[in-house]
Structure 1
């Protein structure tokens, strides 16, 4: 888009395809999460973590894809609606200014960089997600473009676009220091990244200096240096997320084993009362179908790491104690059945 056409931009202009596509993708992810059990107005952190939210124990434990996936997750309908309104408002301007390819690059890089800064600042204290980091990058890019094109714009249009975008960004970031639960580090990281990437990707039509390439190189180098500094100051995870997930999976497996074992116990007792199996046969079935599954579950749970910092550390101890208790109790029952003396049936009188 050339600077001469900036004055033709209006809120009534059609939304460009990439902006519409990003809005549709965010809404689609939210709908899929609803179908998967997420809440409409609010989803707990456990649900967000399952879908890929940013969280130091998980992200820094090798799940770096969360820096990307987190920008498409939203904690509720209000969170989604406010972000999509801002994306629609700024996206339709910036996509025309930079073109769809550069616009998408600004959006994605801003979102990832914002989540990276959030990871460093928030550490182990927050589960974060949302498109706001990427959206702030869009507004940062808008400010850069309008500033460099200001001499080729009408004064009224420049004031409307530049000061409006600046006021929106400043007020929203300021609100983040007042209202709890807002990830301001992602906002700031995305905003600064959007400005840097915009300087690097500025269309040649608005560049007035032949020496601007040096400025782009210096700004790009500073941004890369900043990223390197963040990567070398990542927080040490309070615990390993993979270990936490392993405990949760094994506890859920124990619950399934428990249900199956109790069902088999009832079936074996019923067959014993009916006289269709001997005591020795009952004991053998209890060993194979009740005691052994509990014992194997106990051994698996005991092999898991015992880190008191894990959220499920207490649950792990409870699960081990339960599996061991059930295993020993069923073995004792089987031994009692084997020790029952054989009682021959009384002869039927003639």
Structure 2
């Protein structure tokens, strides 16, 4: 049984200073705290963290009549407080989902008209993507492919498992397969004993390996007509940090975009954006006369964001206005920051980012569909 953290109207909660994935509060509270709900007032208790000083215990008293728009998201509880300075949002995490529901039930149920409209539109949007695309198989396939290729390249650099990377006579023999697997297992045990799982490879060796595996090097891609490198390079990464950052953003952004476009269309969007990123990198290298050995999924990731902007910009997309504003407000700053940072950081292939973004935006217009559900389903669900 899950503990609600409640004792005589007092709930144990956790406060955050804010962030993209955490509820925030205007009182600068952080860490463990309490929410005490009384008939006329709500007391918010916690510690405010101050620079170069010890945390200070704080207590804020809120009138219940000023609390509106209470909502929950898993363990998080968020509500608005109407005051002389306008509307303030207060958020925190409860001890669990049950505790969050109990807190929401104990708080006033009043909602502003604007909140009711926005809440209804968000519910309609989630109903629509649940109807069309309840799962995201392409994202998980892309994550597995990128991570798997990185691991195979690492195995090759370690000098064992080489038979895995090229066809050899005798692979149709069960004894040969067992021998290869035994060799691979022995190499793994040696690495565990040495505690050397992800050592950095020498730059020259890594660059040579990336070219071998399909990086976007203009003299190969254009000079030797190996155009497949425009796409293969999007599945290669130069370091574990490079891979981890790209996969995190792909997982966060890609799930929603796949559900909006649908899995098959999303796969097409991702591949076209990857090719666009490769073209952007190659063309900029030729124009600037500084060709680079380009790798990474970031061009394709920028492309799916471009596709998302193309989708929500369509007049009859089926994405309600509230959700359009939410997406533009959250994705827009991320996009501008990363493109701006790309111009400042010398080792960033910003041409691939911009090329992928443009290609994704164009592909998004071609692959977009309507999210409106059939009339009979909408009638049964009470939506439109």
Give TM class, smaller chain: 0.5 to 0.7
> Which of 191, 210, 218 is the aligned partner of 1:56?
218
Q: CA deviation at 1:150?
A: 8.5
Contact 1:3 1:153 in 2 (8 A): no
Maintained 8 Å contact 1:7/1:154: no
Per the alignment, residue 189 of structure 1 pairs with 355
More moved, 70-79 vs 119-128: 119-128
Alignment-derived partner of residue 277 in structure 2? 114
Contact 1:67 1:116 in 2 (8 A): yes
Contact 2:316–2:370 under 8 Å retained in 1: no
1:192–1:151 distance in 2 versus 1, CA, 3 Å: closer
Q: Deviations over 1:209-260 (max 9, x none)?
A: xxxxxxxxxxxxxxxxxxxxxxxxxxxxxxxxxxxxxxxxxxxxxxxxxxxx
Q: Identify which range, 40-49 or 58-67, moves more after superposition.
A: 40-49
How far residue 186 of structure 1 moved from its aligned partner, in angstroms, is: 0.7
C-alpha contact (below 8 Å) 1:106/1:197 kept by paired residues: yes
Contact kept, 8 Å, 1:7 with 1:153, in 2: the verdict is: no
Say whether 1:80 aligns with 2:200.
Answer: no
Output the CA distance in 2 between the equivalents of 1:112 and 1:188.
12
Q: Distance in 2 between matches of 1:40 and 1:22?
A: 25
Matched, 1:47 2:209: yes
Question: Are 2:335 and 1:169 equivalent residues in the alignment?
Answer: yes
How far apart in 2 are the matches of 1:21 and 1:47?
24
Unaligned runs of 5+ in 2: 1-120, 159-197, 373-384
Find 1:32's aligned residue among 132, 141, 152: 152
Match of residue 198, structure 1, among 361, 364, 368: 364
Tell me the CA shift for residue 14 of structure 1: 8.3
The answer on whether the counterparts of 2:311 and 2:364 sit within 8 Å (CA) in structure 1 is yes
The aligned length equals: 203
Q: TM-score, normalised by structure 1?
A: 0.53
Among candidates 120, 137, 155, match of residue 17 of structure 1:
137
Q: Is the 8 A contact 1:41 1:75 kept in 2?
A: no
Contact 1:41 1:77 in 2 (8 A): no
**Kept in 2: contact 1:117–1:185 (CA 8 A):** yes
SS of equivalent to 1:129:
coil
Q: Structure 1 CA distance, aligned partners of 2:122 and 2:284? A: 38
Structure 1 segments (4+ residues) deviating >6 Å: none
**Shift of residue 204, structure 1, vs aligned partner:** 3.7
Relative to the length of structure 2, the TM-score reads 0.49
In terms of fraction of residues, the more helix-rich structure is: 1
Q: Which residue of 1 aligns with 2:10?
A: none
Query: Hey, which of these two has a bigger chunk of strand by percent?
Result: 2
- Cα distance change, pair 162–183 in 1 and its aligned pair in 2 (3 A): same
Counterparts in 2 of 1:152 and 1:56: CA distance versus 1, 3 Å: closer
Q: Deviations over 1:299-344 (max 9, x none)?
A: xxxxxxxxxxxxxxxxxxxxxxxxxxxxxxxxxxxxxxxxxxxxxx
Q: CA deviation at 1:143?
A: 1.5
| Correspondence 1:6 to 2:169 | no
Higher relative contact order (CA 8 A, sep 6+): 1
User: Does structure 2 conserve the Cα–Cα contact (< 8 Å) formed by 1:106 and 1:194?
Assistant: yes
